[in-house]
Every structure is written in structure tokens, then in C-alpha cells.
Amino acid sequence: MKIGFIGLGNMGAGMSLNLIKAGHDLVVYNRTRSRAQAMENLGAKVADTPSEATVGAEVLITMLADDRALQNVMFESGNAIESLSESATHISMSTISVDLSRRLAQSHAEKHQDYIAAPVFGRPDAAAAGKLFIVSAGPAELIEKYYSLFAAMGQRTFVVGTDAPAANLIKLSGNFLTSTVIESLAEGIALMRKAGVDPRKFMEVLTNSLYPAPAYKTYGAMIAADNFEPAGFKLPLGFKDNRLLLAAAEEASVPMPMASLMHDRFVAALAQGLEDADWSAVARVVFKDAGL
Amino acid sequence: MKIGFIGLGNMGAGMSLNLIKAGHDLVVYNRTRSRAQAMENLGAKVADTPSEATVGAEVLITMLADDRALQNVMFESGNAIESLSESATHISMSTISVDLSRRLAQSHAEKHQDYIAAPVFGRPDAAAAGKLFIVSAGPAELIEKYYSLFAAMGQRTFVVGTDAPAANLIKLSGNFLTSTVIESLAEGIALMRKAGVDPRKFMEVLTNSLYPAPAYKTYGAMIAADNFEPAGFKLPLGFKDNRLLLAAAEEASVPMPMASLMHDRFVAALAQGLEDADWSAVARVVFKDAGL
Amino acid sequence: MKIGFIGLGNMGAGMSLNLIKAGHDLVVYNRTRSRAQAMENLGAKVADTPSEATVGAEVLITMLADDRALQNVMFESGNAIESLSESATHISMSTISVDLSRRLAQSHAEKHQDYIAAPVFGRPDAAAAGKLFIVSAGPAELIEKYYSLFAAMGQRTFVVGTDAPAANLIKLSGNFLTSTVIESLAEGIALMRKAGVDPRKFMEVLTNSLYPAPAYKTYGAMIAADNFEPAGFKLPLGFKDNRLLLAAAEEASVPMPMASLMHDRFVAALAQGLEDADWSAVARVVFKDAGL
Amino acid sequence: MKIGFIGLGNMGAGMSLNLIKAGHDLVVYNRTRSRAQAMENLGAKVADTPSEATVGAEVLITMLADDRALQNVMFESGNAIESLSESATHISMSTISVDLSRRLAQSHAEKHQDYIAAPVFGRPDAAAAGKLFIVSAGPAELIEKYYSLFAAMGQRTFVVGTDAPAANLIKLSGNFLTSTVIESLAEGIALMRKAGVDPRKFMEVLTNSLYPAPAYKTYGAMIAADNFEPAGFKLPLGFKDNRLLLAAAEEASVPMPMASLMHDRFVAALAQGLEDADWSAVARVVFKDAGL
């Protein structure tokens, strides 16, 4: 299948490679060209502009850092929405706002293009291994049609409805849950440390009884070890997603005190110079408050 | 083995029965005698007083509702600590305060008795099925010696150290984590409902990707269905455990804002008449705040 | 003095009238023309466009509802910044974001125009009575030069620095303080009510001892009476100011948990249909949480 | 009038001296005898035990540090409730729990003694100057009868009802309000500092406009100067009062999120070694969170 793929960051690199391995023809674009060129040796064609990656593609996949980057590619300097063919499909896999997803749905409809929102759960290693969890929403027959693409990138694809922004809301809410897991583990581990109990014992109990879940294992180990590097998911990105969630919650008139608490934690973490650490480094703020 | 077993509530009933099935001689005591009598047909001897259940026992197991009940049995009207033999072992399985556990450790040591703290994770159905998770702390050789008792009651027994109160702290912290899971799911599900996304889709994604854990499945289903009865674990009990956690955190000088948030939620839930509902009914407060 | 005055809402109406009474020549503009026409009988000239109110004015005063309205007047359809003379002075009295104030400072400098930020504390009755508190920042000699204008509108004018956005930050922070006073009074009064103590006794003690301050008297009386109408300052406006404060705090990397709590309260109040009530109606959310 | 006065700490010393100056016969007791002896030169008789200060007194005034101290004097080793004459009146001026006040009301009634709760607002300098604000509750005719005593100690006496514990609840709630003022000022001042605005300008605006109140002046100055010594009211005492408030709120089923936030702040402040500072030093925790 002829696929335009825009965005070759930590996540996009692995995802696009898995599509190439699955036999698809990719035209890739990345703002920092060197990352795109690395893909060239692996079989991709490198585009000089977003438009070039879009023209003639049956499917356009975008995997960018944030709303601004995607907006820029689709509507502004990149203007991919103009170069995308009628009846082509845009599969938007970035973690973006519900608002932008709604705007994309509308704009594509006006251009007689199709639109699927398909954000993912998983860190870069899962992207590389084709083990992402994909949350898709959009026209049912199209999701089915492009199922093989999802299968190449993820271990499981959920279909959550026909209204695309629903997938983005679920993605943001999933990240919200993970942020609260980080905070609650950090508070519990601070308590263990100050009470003289080995936090690894605490994590051993949790992850082998009620919480045998990846997030508990990954973050519990990092927080218990008080080691937040290398960053699998950088703190400012976690902060951004929290902001997008709070915006969606405000629009729907839903007070979310835990999300507000996380907002404050992210602000404090940035005030304390943790912008390059993994987002689980909000635990450092928790530890500091406890005098650790 | 000759075992005194005090406390035949929803949890203790199943646990004691599993010990009988494993071939042990139980003398059981319960304040409400009728519950003890039910055990008589199943092979237990029924005691009229806590002392009577204690005299001559190699092991005393207690599974009571709260600090007050256990204190009453051990130190006050029941005075089991006086009737327990020297070199007998008290296995305290109730969810109690770190403080009371420390006091028991001391008192038993003064009487040349042994003491193991072994609180459990699991709801009444897990107790009945012998599928509890047991968190034990105390003298290592004794935990090993009585391992078969734990095996009769639980699917897995963790040994978290030699200082008994550590087990109680881990138990309370585990319940704290679960309370935060309830709250974060409630906030997320409130958002789904108001944004017009099916909360069951949200839970399907979560429990099949990052959160394939019992707590998420059980509570997610209850909250998504907005149905909190029958109560597996009553709201006032969850509130009590939160209070014990906050007391331990205060003693260790650890601020725990999420635990404080849960405190406020429990108070609000009681103010709104939810004292007979499952503790996950704090979600009702979340829903109400969101105008649902 | 020849003054253009844009924005004749609840606040601007009283303020502009006081300037007319002080003998100044006003050209007024209001989007809803009827409000401007009422001023005509009182001696103002009515402009059909923002530009018309601006051309030839020595001083332009703006008193609009929010960032969007001011932006629209200054930069977009109104484009007052183009029609304002070189060396004229814009006195911006609306409660706006620190960001927009910074942008105005820059834009006026580029046009060789002067800029003073002078937001106010006080409700419509204070505006009508010329009893506002004015917080000014900008070039010291200009603030002095136009002191008589401030004196016509307010009972006291503070000069807080030469960097205009400082005045906006202080204004937003003042509103933040008032929102926390509302919340703390609401929590205290909820406690009085449920404990059977007359909340008016509570307020009598407070406002005659440690808190003999207008905000305590005004809001204490409203909350104790559980009566939030008529709205002196509507809830959505309070919410907007809270949002602007949180944006400024985020930019400066300052976690403000009380502001976050107020955010959640405003969202809940809107979810519960209180958009037409005074902002102190967040107390209703507090009461509801307490089962009142 | 023959008065027994128990408790000569920072507050009690000034209060008892003002009673002596007003011509009353005082028998004083203090656990640390040296403080009582200092009163001897000023005309007081020094008692060796609480009982000795109580026997034959028409009025017993107590001004102790906390529940435990008062309980000890009244019911335990001091046993003043036994030595107090029938028909004598106990005026309890300490900041104590609603619960203990209720217990005192009951116990005195059983002994045919009278009981007035009359806690005070004001710091040690106000106690010395006879400028306290006194909040009284109890039998109306008795409060009137002993009005001259209140007049000797305070600048104003409020009568809030006939049920004594109401006065204690109002006192605790007043301290709660002050703690929230400290927090909101600290958050605002942190924002000023990081945004480069002089916090003293901020305080000048506030205390000369909407908040011309003692608490804002006193605490605003301390927080703006980041100087919390000497301690007028020590942090652990503020924490204690917060705990008593939360207990009363829990009993009345009133969620008080601001009080919970303050709880967390006090815990963090103690974790960070601020136990000897003024309670407004919770601002240090706010500053630290903001990276200051």
C-alpha cells in the first residue's frame, strides 16, 4: 500500500519501520531530515516536505509530538490537507487534543477525505517491537480495511466507536490514569522509605497480587530506585497530555481533582528542573515534600 | 494443629473454614454467637469467651473489624493476651493500625509469646476460596513454621520483613492505592459519560492493555455500571483504613495529598448517605460533582 | 481631556460617567449600541466603531469583558491600535491575561504609543460611586500625568511598577485571594450549619475581630444566607480570571494548589447549572458535597 | 473575685496579669513552677497543684496548650473537677477540641458546677495588652455575670450561644480561615517573586483595598520577607488546631478540602524541619515547591 508517514520521532521511527517490514511503500517526512534519511536505507522514500509525503498516498499516517506540530503539517506550512487526494484516509496516531481531532474530522469531511483517529499506548520499545496498543475510532469499514496496518504496528487494536475524537479522549484519559498511578506509588513509596520498610518489598507485593500490570511494574521499579533516566516519556510531554485532558474535562464540565493535583505536580517538577527526566520523576517532588 | 480463631465475619468465616478443611482443630469465638455456631456443624469447637478460644492454643488467629475490636479482645474484656500460653504465636490478620501492631509486638514480647502480622488482600469470595494474598512480617522461622496455615487460606504469602508492623503498613498502603484507582476511574468515567463516550469501551481498552489487573476490572465494571451493591467492602471500612493510613503518614511526616483527597471523598459519601454501599461508591460523589 | 472610552458594561458605564462628570470629553464605543446611546444624553459622543472612538484621542481607555473582546477591539475588527495617534496613551483597565498585557506593551511601543495597565478592584456599585481601587503599572511620569483620571474613577490608585503586566498579575492574584476567601468561608459555614451553630454568629465574630474586611463581610453574608443573586460578579467571569491566573502561574512555574482547587469548584458549579449566579455560588458545591 | 488560674504560658501569663491589675485575687498554677513564681511578685498566690488553685475559687480559668494538658488538669492527676466547689464556674479559654468541650460541659453539669467555653483570638502581645477577642458560649446569665473578667482580658467579647462547644468550633474555624489566608498569600507571593514583581507592592495593594485586616498585614509581611521567626504561634500548634478542626468536620460529615490541603502543608513543613518556626512558615513549603 502507498503510505505517507509524517513524524519519525522515538515512536514514529519504530512504527514506520514495522510498516516497511510488512511490505508497504512508505514516503516519509520528518522536520529534522537526518532522522528521515536513516529510513531511506531501510527502504523508505524520503520527502522534502509534508506535501510530498502526502501526494498520491492512499493512506497518510501522522505521528507528531503535539497539536502544534500536527496543525502545522496539516493546515499551515505543510498544508498536507490540500495535497492529500480525495478519498484518501488520514490515520492520526499522535496524542492530540480532542479539539484538534474534531477539527480534523470536519476538515477532512469537507475535502471528501477520510479520517481515523488511532492514538497508541506504549513506549518507544513497544513501538519498535510492534507491540503497541492502538485505540481507533472512525468509520467502521475503514478501520477494518486498514486493519493490517494496525496489526503491523500493534499487538492489539481497539475499536471504540465511529466518532474519531472518542479515541483521543480515551488515550488522554489513559495517560491520566497512569499519571495517578505514578503519584499514588510515589506517595506510598515515600511512606515506606520514611517508615523504614523496603519499597521493593512493597512493590513485590503489589505487582504480584492486585496490580500485576505493566504500569505498576515499570513505574514502581523506577520510583523505588529513585532513578528516572533514561526518560521513556519526558516530563513535559506528560504535562502536555495532562493539559489536554483538563481542557477536555473543562469543556465537558467535569471537575477532575486528581488531574488538577497532577497539574500542580508537573508544574513543581518543572520548577525544580526536571524537564529532561521521565514523567515519573514527579515522584521527586513527592519525596522532597516528605523531606527525603 | 490446635488453633484459636477469633472473628468470624465475612472474611473470618471463610478463612477459618479453610483451616478446618486442612485438618486443623479450631476453637472459634465470635461476639455474635450465632455465626460461631454455624461453624460448629463444620467441626469447630465454639468458645464462649475470647479467653476460652485462646487457652491451650498453639496459634491464635485474629480477624476482626478494626482496632477497637482487636484491642478489646486482646487487652480488655477478652484479655486474650493473658490467657495465651507462653511461646504460643498470635497471627494477627485484621487490617489494623501500625500503632496497634507495634503495641501488640511489644506486649507479646513481654509475655514471651510470639507475634506475626499477616493482613490480607482479597474480598470475602477470595477468603472463602482460599485465594487471599497474605502479607506477613515477623520472625522468619515462625512464618516458615506456620506456612501451611497461610497456604490453606491464601493463594500466595509474601514475607516482607521481620518487623511485624511493616506488614500492616503495606496492607494499608495497598488499600490506599486501590482507593486512588477507584477515584481515577470515577473521574475518567465521568468524563466519558459527559463527552458521550461509552465508559465500557474505555474500560475494555484499559483492562486489556496497560491495566489487566483485578482492581481495575472489578471496580471499573461497578463504576461504569453506576452500581455499588452488594457491597464487597463497605464504605465506612474503606474510610477507616484511609484514616489509619493518614495516621501512619502523619507519624512518619509524609504528606499524602491523594490520601487527603480520598478522605474528603469518604466524608462526602457519608454525608450523602452512602454508608451501606461498597467503598467504590465514592464514584457517586464524583458523578454528582460533575452534574451527572 | 479628549478621551476615547471603549466598553460600557456594568463596570465601564459607571467609570465613563465619572470621567464625564469630571469634565472630560468622551467618545464612547460599545458593541451593543444601546448602552452607548444612554451615555449620549449624559454628554458623551457615541462612536460607531472602535476606531472612531480612538482617532484624535489623547487617551484611550478600554474596559472590556475579556482577552478576546480586547484583542478584537485593538488588533482585529476594531483595529484601534492603528487608529490611535502616535504619543497617545492607552490605559487598559480590563481584567486580562498577563500575556495579552505584554503583547499590548510591545505593540504600543512599536507604534510609539504609550501604554498603562490599570485594572481595578471593586464591583459595579463601586464603579458607579467612583470608589474603585486602581492598580496601575507603566511609565511613572505618565501615571502621574493622568492621575486626575484615576482620581475621578477610584478612591485610591496604587502604582506597582513600570512594567505594565505587573498590574495585571496583581489584579488576577487579588481575585484569586478572594476566591479562596469564598471557599474557606463556605467550608466553615457548611461546618457551622451541620454542627448546629448559627453561621451569622460565626461571621459576626470573624468580621469584628481578625477579618474586618469588605470581602469577608460581602461574601460571608451571601454564603451564610445561601443567596447568590443578584450576581455582582458572575461565576463564569470568576472562572475566567482563575484560568488566567493558572496560565500565569504555569508560565512562571509556580504550583498553586488552591487555585487548582478553585478551578475544580468552578467547573463543578457550571456542571450544576450555576452560570448565572454570583461567583460566590461555588459555596453551593461545597454545601452539596456536605449533604446540605 | 477569687479566681483560680491554671496555665501561665505565653498567653496565660498576660491574661492572668490583666486580671490581677483589675483587682482580682488569683491563685495561679503552672506545671513549670518558675513561671508561676514570677506571678507571685505581681500579687498572685502560687499553688503547688491544680487542686490547690481550684479549692475555694468562685471561678476557675484554664488556659492550657492542648486537650491532653487540660484533660490531665481536670480529670487526671490534677483532678480539678473534684476540688472545684459546687456552683463555681469553669471558664475554659484554651483552644481545645469540640469533643473535650462537650465532655467538660457534661462533667461539670453532673457536679452541679457551671461551664463557659471562652477561647480567644490573638497572639501573646494581644494577651499582654488585654486586647484579645473572646468567643464565649454557655449560660447567658453567667457570661453576663463574669463580663468584667472578659473585659479585663479582651477588647471585645462575643456571645455565640448557650451551647458551650459552639465557641470552640468557631475558634477552630477561625484558625482554619487564618491558615488558608497564609496559604493563599504564600501562593500569591511565590507567583510575584517568580514573575519578578515586588511582593511588598502586592501586599500594599491588598491590605489597603479589599483586605485591610490584621491577619493579612501580619502574615503578608512575614511571608513577603520570608522570615518566620520569632514564632508568635508555633507551627505544631497550628497543626494541632487543624487536626481538631478536621475531627469536628469528620464528625459533622463535612468535607473540607482546604483544611485537608493545610494538613498536608503542615506535615510537609514538619518533614522539612520547621517545628520551631511560626505556623506561617508553611509558606516555605510553597516556596520550595515553586523552586524558590
Percent of chain B with pLDDT strictly greater than 70: 100
Q: Does D275 touch chain B (CB under 8 A)?
A: no
| B194 is known as an active-site residue | no
Residues A70 and A110 in one domain: yes
Cβ separation C290–B268 shorter than 8 A? yes
Chain-wide mean pLDDT for chain A? 96
Residues A15 and A156 in one domain: yes
- Quick check: C256 and C246 in contact, CB under 8 A? yes
Residues D115 and D242 in one domain: no
Q: Using CA atoms, how far apart are residues C243 and C66, in angstroms rounded to an integer?
A: 12
How many B×C Cβ pairs under 8 Å?
23
- What is the tens place of the pLDDT at every residue in D250-292? 999 999 999 999 999 999 999 999 999 999 999 999 999 999 9
How much is the pTM?
Answer: 0.96
Partners of B194 on chain C (C-beta within 8 Å) are 271
- Quick check: D185 and D205 in contact, CB under 8 A? no
Listed in sequence order, the residues at least 6 apart from D62 whose beta carbon sits closer than 8 Å to its beta carbon are: D6, D7, D70, D73, D74, D80, D90, D91, D92, D93, D94
Which of A114, A145, A162 is at the close of a domain?
A162
Q: Using CA atoms, how far apart are residues C211 and C202, in angstroms rounded to an integer?
A: 11
Domains identified in chain A, total number: 2
Which of D142, D162, D182 is at the close of a domain?
D162
- Quick check: A50 and A33 in contact, CB under 8 A? no
Residues C213 and C253 in one domain: yes
The 3-state DSSP class for residue C207 equals: helix
What are the residues facing D27 on neighbouring strands?
D4, D45
Q: Does D270 touch chain B (CB under 8 A)?
A: yes
Residues A80 and A25 in one domain: yes
Residues C154 and C12 in one domain: yes
Confidence of residue A67 (pLDDT cuts 50, 70, 90): very high
Per-window interface: C 107-126 vs B, CB < 8 A: none
Largest Cα span, chain B: 64
Which residue in B98, B184, B205 is closest to A170 by CB distance? Answer: B205
- What is the tens place of the pLDDT at every residue in B70-119? 999 999 988 899 999 998 999 999 999 999 999 999 999 999 999 999 99
- Residue B147: pLDDT above 90? yes
Q: Does D271 touch chain A (CB under 8 A)?
A: yes
Residues C72 and C195 in one domain: no
Smallest CA–CA distance, residue C191 to chain A, in Å, is: 22
Residues A67 and A131 in one domain: yes
Residues D142 and D78 in one domain: yes
Residues A177 and A109 in one domain: no
Catalytic residue among A2, A171, A234, A240: A171
Residues A26 and A144 in one domain: yes
Please report, for chain A, how many H helices and E strands are present, in that order: 15, 9
Instruction: Determine the residue among A245, A251, A262, A263 to mutate to test chain C binding: the one whose Cβ has the most chain C Cβ atoms within 10 Å.
Output: A263
Per-window interface: D 206-225 vs C, CB < 8 A: 206, 208-216
For position D150, what pLDDT does the model report?
A: 98
CA torsion D147-D152-D153-D156 (nearest 10°) is: 60
Domain of C12 in residue numbering reads as 2-162
- What is the tens place of the pLDDT at every residue in D91-137? 999 999 999 999 999 999 999 999 999 999 998 999 999 999 999 99
Q: Which of B32-46, B158-172, C1-15, D217-231 has the lowest mean pLDDT?
A: B32-46
Cβ separation B202–A160 shorter than 8 A? yes
- What is the tens place of the pLDDT at every residue in B215-252? 999 999 999 999 998 888 999 999 999 999 999 999 99
- Quick check: D84 and D61 in contact, CB under 8 A? no
Smallest CA–CA distance, residue D217 to chain C, in Å, is: 10
Instruction: Determine the residue among C183, C284, C289, C292 to mutate to test chain B binding: the one whose Cβ has the most chain B Cβ atoms within 10 Å.
Output: C289
Cβ separation C160–D201 shorter than 8 A? yes
Which of B162, B180, B197 is at the close of a domain?
B162
Q: At what angle do helices D257-271 and B257-271 cross, to 10 degrees?
A: 150
Chain-wide mean pLDDT for chain D? 96
CA torsion D181-D182-D185-D186 (nearest 10°) is: -150
Q: Does C289 touch chain B (CB under 8 A)?
A: yes
* C269, closest residue in chain B (CA to CA): B289
Percent of chain D with pLDDT strictly greater than 70: 100
Catalytic residue among D171, D217, D234, D240: D171
Task: Tell me the three cell numbers of residue A212.
Answer: 500485576
Cβ separation D288–A285 shorter than 8 A? no
DSSP C147-168: HHHHHHHEEEEEE--SSTHHHH
Q: How far is CA A98 from CA A164, A197, A244, A246, A250, in A?
A: 9, 43, 8, 11, 12
- What is the tens place of the pLDDT at every residue in D158-167? 999 999 999 9
- What is the tens place of the pLDDT at every residue in C195-211? 999 999 999 999 999 99
Q: Does C272 touch chain B (CB under 8 A)?
A: yes
Q: Using CA atoms, how far apart are residues A95 and C48, in angstroms rounded to an integer?
A: 46
Consecutive 10-residue averages of pLDDT for chain C (292 residues): 95 96 96 87 92 96 96 92 95 97 97 98 94 98 97 97 97 98 98 97 96 94 94 94 98 98 98 96 98 96
Confidence of residue D229 (pLDDT cuts 50, 70, 90): confident
For position C234, what pLDDT does the model report?
A: 94
CATH number at residue B10: 3.40.50.720
Catalytic residue among B45, B145, B171, B288: B171
- Residue B156: pLDDT above 90? yes
- Residue A113: pLDDT above 90? yes
* A252, closest residue in chain C (CA to CA): C271
CATH number at residue D271: 1.10.1040.10
Q: Using CA atoms, how far apart are residues B227 and D258, in angstroms rounded to an integer?
A: 30
Per-window interface: B 56-85 vs A, CB < 8 A: none
Which residue in A254, A261, A271 is closest to C267 by CB distance? Answer: A254
Task: Tell me the three cell numbers of residue B130.
Answer: 482460599
Q: How far is CA D226 from CA D189, D199, D287, in A?
A: 10, 11, 9
The ipTM of this complex is: 0.96
Q: Using CA atoms, how far apart are residues C157 and B95, in angstroms rounded to an integer?
A: 61
Residues A153 and A187 in one domain: no
Smallest CA–CA distance, residue A235 to chain C, in Å, is: 14
Q: Using CA atoms, how far apart are residues D32 and D54, in angstroms rounded to an integer?
A: 17
Which residue in B257, B271, B289 is closest to C290 by CB distance? Answer: B271
